Amino acid sequence: MSTIRGGVEQSRERLVALVLLLQRAWQYAPITQEEILRDLKIDEYPAAAKGPRKIRAYEGADTTVRQKFERDKARIRELGFEIEIVSRDDGSVGYRIDPKSGYAPLIYFTPEEERVVKLALSFCGFGKSGAFSVFNDVPASDGGLAASNYYTPVLRALHVRRALAFEYLSAANKARLVEPLVIDVFDGASYLVARVKDTREIKGYRFTRMTSMPVVLPDTFEVDDDTDRVARAWRPEYAKSPRPLDVVVLTNENYAELLVRQYPNAMSATKSDGTVEVSITFQSPRAALRLLLDSADRVRLQSPKSLKNELTAWLKEVNRGKTPDVASLSFDVVPSNDVLGQTLQLLHAVYVSDDGLRISELSKRFSLSSEHVRLIMDRLVSLEPMAESTDGTDTFPAHVIKECDDWDDEANDDSTYRADFSDLPEGADDPSPFMWRDLFELNIALREASRIYTDAAIFSAIEKIEDATKAPVQIVMASNEALLAQVESAIESHSQIKIEYTSGVSDESHARAIEPRELKVLNGHTYVRAYCTTRTAWRTFRVDRINAVLANSPAPATRPLDTVSNWLTQVGEEGDEIVVVVEAANRWLFEPLPGAKWLVLDDGRHAVKFRVSDERFVDHLMLRAGPGAVVATAAYAKAGHELARRIAAQL
């Protein structure tokens, strides 16, 4: 108890109190720093006392408390809230938060829509820091997509047509000033497509490469139809002057079938010796080169000669370069305890529950101890920031009520917490429980789920989200998962299916008998967790690599329990730990690796540390990374060399 009631909880209450106070100031009057430092009070739990006592939230020397106040403002901004600085009539400077900067418009989901929202988040969730826990009553496991607080100000800027400023890492870290037009999601990676301010240039910015919280500027802008059309047509391989390239490769029958499924415009022809010639048209040489690198030695490039020359030069540089001493690199980053974000998630979950939530329910949902939940929620119940000087608490955006079954044993009671909006001013809407990023996550999850679930509630929920946000979001669906519906059907009927499967490093397919249990999406691909009777173990399969479903039969009643809870990102949790050093422009390839940790070196290159359980994965990864990437871990210093040699020998 003493640990929980220490500085972390005082910091939590101070931050929550400050957020609620500054939101109230938006409706009434900006509050000065002097007023906050003088009057804001929080609870302290002395070790010898039975209950709390009120203390000033900011105590100490003048310099110390002002530094603490500035740090608190920065942490609030990191969640996407816009803290405005206003000059008051008396010449002083006041602060306030526009609630609409963080919270999206209120949406009422029907019971059916709420059901499909839970379903969609399970299929394509964002993990513990995303919207999953607000809706689902079980703990979030691994997330298929990266959650980011940056979505909040970006969607807000799209909604109100205002410019954005942020730092962005390309070849170097630079400030960007843009007019946001659309958010695109390609292969599970999110991009902001925007017009560079005061120009006609349209560019894409990957969210994972933004290095500062985007700031919504007061500058508004207009968009004509031509600009909107160009923005919606943007792709990561975008080129101002596309140069289509016809590529011909030679492979075996099995891998040719896989390529034809993955590339809708591909054409194949079987030759007299049994090999298959596959022709594919690409919009740029870079996209064509990426196919060859992904396919590695499973294909032999026939034409064009220009691409052969480019591939030859690429292969010579695979995993070559100067490496630092791994022992000298420190990836240990002190984790920031996001107490404000955690508290707001608890509060939002209570918001959307008509009947309130018990301590045990919140504890399970957010993977917190009951004691910790009780302390956090009790502080929200008793929170009265600056009550004496702000005419009471009835104008705050949340008022949490606690209900006990046994008030005489309150410390052990499984109490219920619910939001009470009865004190809101007449005619005022209930506060929205949704951050802008929550609606972005829900939109993507619902769109992904619509690929395999036919339910009108999915589309009505999407329509409500897009009507409320007015922020255009495009999700490019995987088009090569033709057998996804059959896999889902096997899950629903608890069946065993016999599949023909091609692994990620092979050009041959093999028959596997599997019993599918769960589907999830990672980096734009759908994966199925299944008990494999061929290997007598739990395995994960990528759906687009299933060539065919050969048979279907009832599954046995019992199988060993799957001991891996976060199976989707298991690659990041076990195996050998390795370090790769990459040029800043090449880090995009490593960013999707689950569990990856990053470090910027003195020479401007980036070091990434991750785990792998199959050395062949490292060979293919370094082949795709090519020039500008080198393994610093001695045991993998030659990763990719032999693979590159085999490919070069075929040219």
Give the burial class of 595: count Cβ atoms within 10 A of its Cβ; 0-12 exposed, 13-18 middle, 19 or more buried. Answer: middle
What is the predicted pLDDT for the residue at 304? 94
What is the predicted pLDDT for the residue at 4? 45
For residues 291-308, average pLDDT: 93
Is residue 393 pLDDT above 70, yes or no? no
What is the predicted pLDDT for the residue at 384? 62
474 within 8 A of 448, measured Cβ to Cβ? no
Q: Between residues 65 and 300, which one has the greater pLDDT?
A: 300
String of b and e for 509-518 (b: at least 16 CB within 10 Å)? beebbbbbbb
Is residue 619 pLDDT above 90, yes or no? yes
In this prediction, residue 75 has a pLDDT band, given cuts at 50, 70 and 90, of confident
Is residue 336 pLDDT above 60, yes or no? no
Least confident range of 31-40, 419-428, 434-443, 513-522: 419-428
Which of the 8 DSSP states describes residue 1? -
pLDDT in tens, 418-467: 988 776 667 667 777 788 988 998 998 898 888 888 899 999 999 999 89
Strand bridging mode 173-186 / 473-476: parallel
pLDDT in tens, 179-195: 999 999 887 788 999 99
Q: Between residues 306 and 287, which one has the greater pLDDT?
A: 306
65-74, 293-302, 383-392, range with greatest mean pLDDT: 293-302
Q: Percent of the chain, pLDDT > 70? A: 90
For residues 113-128, average pLDDT: 84
Is residue 157 pLDDT above 70, yes or no? yes
Token duo for residue 216: 């919504």
Classify residue 594 as left (phi > 0), alpha (psi -120 to 50) or beta: beta
495 within 8 A of 448, measured Cβ to Cβ? no
Domain boundaries along the sequence of the chain: 1-99, 326-331+571-650, 353-388+398-429
pLDDT in tens, 569-581: 765 556 789 999 9
Is residue 51 pLDDT above 70, yes or no? no
User: Across the strands, what pairs with 179?
Assistant: 195
611 within 8 A of 576, measured Cβ to Cβ? yes
What is the predicted pLDDT for the residue at 563? 84
Least confident range of 48-52, 77-81, 96-100, 467-471: 48-52
CATH architecture designation of domain 326-331+571-650: 2-Layer Sandwich (3.30)
What is the predicted pLDDT for the residue at 137? 81
What CA–CA distance (Å, rounded) separates 483 from 93? 62
Element (H, E) at 621: helix 615-625
| Choices 2.60.120, 3.40.50, 1.10.8, 1.10.10: CATH for 1-99 | 1.10.10
Strands (E), 221-305: 245-251, 267-270, 276-282, 300-303
439 within 8 A of 465, measured Cβ to Cβ? yes
In this prediction, residue 386 has a pLDDT band, given cuts at 50, 70 and 90, of low
Give the burial class of 281: count Cβ atoms within 10 A of its Cβ; 0-12 exposed, 13-18 middle, 19 or more buried. Answer: middle
Mean pLDDT score of the chain: 85
What is the predicted pLDDT for the residue at 392? 44
For residues 328-337, average pLDDT: 67
What is the predicted pLDDT for the residue at 28? 79
Q: Is the pTM of this model over 0.85?
A: no
257-266, 279-288, 296-305, 416-425, range with greatest mean pLDDT: 296-305
What is the predicted pLDDT for the residue at 2? 37
